Amino acid sequence: MSLAVRVIPCLDVDNGRVVKGVNFVDLRDAGDPVEMATVYDAEGADELTFLDITASSDSRGTTFDVVGRTADQVFIPLTVGGGVRTPEDVDRLLRAGADKVGINTAAITRPDVIAEIAHRFGSQVLVLSVDARRAADQPSGFEVTTHGGRQSAGIDAVEWARRATELGAGEILLNSMDADGTRDGFDLEMIRAVRDVTQVPLIASGGAGRLEHFAQAVDAGADAVLAASVFHFGDMTIGQVKETLRASGHRVR
């Protein structure tokens, strides 16, 4: 029996506020993260993802505060990413109230940190965030990017997903930089390509715009679907997404 599909709102947090843009630019203020988290919990979200998008040291204290206040209010799993570089960062976020921690750039720079975190805390707490875009010069046709999709990391995204899970990443958050904020649908080809090389849970992100997009992502191999702006700005609710998934034959909670 397959696991129930998880529906996950993503809160991009900048200096204590939720923001959302298109392809990571033109950011609009979308509200208070703790208030929004509480609403999504009530609406039936299965998990929440917080991404500190300007995770320099100045906003790091803000993030711990937001995570702590959110964990006091909601009782669904909370994944926090942005600026995570060491097992000590993971430890602090878990103590603040996070259930899982996302890592991205630091793992590309030093892949061994994946194994170190998994060894110390268990693979289940480590989510590898892969910001990928189409690139004809990579074997799979997809490359890893850093800096909010602005810079190429020069590595194949599918091969990176495979290697990172071998090192101990317990879950992959696969974000299509080409589709991010466009609302044209998830990159189904990319989802299939990563699904083919790894067994860990796969979260599809980037491009949700219509209800049917979520079922398409699951059909392509995603175990969970993540979206931001369509939820933040009221285009659709968590309940509507779950109803559509259910109608497409997928199990939801």
Active site residues: 12, 131
DSSP state of 5: B
Which amino acid is located at 241 in the chain? V
Would you call 159 exposed, middle or buried from its count of C-beta atoms within 10 A (0-12, 13-18, 19+)? middle
Q: Are 100 and 125 in contact (CB under 8 A)?
A: yes
Q: Is 234 exposed, middle or buried (0-12, 13-18, 19+ CB in 10 A)?
A: exposed
**Going along 82-168, which residue ranges are E strands?**
100-103, 126-134, 142-146, 151-156
Convert 174-212 into a string of H (helix), E (strand) and C (coil): EEECCCCCCCCCCCHHHHHHHHCCCCCCEEEECCCCCHH
Retrieve residue 27's tokens. Answer: 């950011």
- In whole angstroms, give the CA distance from residue 252 to residue 100: 21
Long-range contacts at 142-148 (CB < 8 A, ≥ 24 apart): 142/190, 142/193, 144/108, 145/177, 146/104, 146/105, 146/108, 147/105, 148/24, 148/53
CA–CA gap between residue 163 and residue 151 (Å, rounded): 21
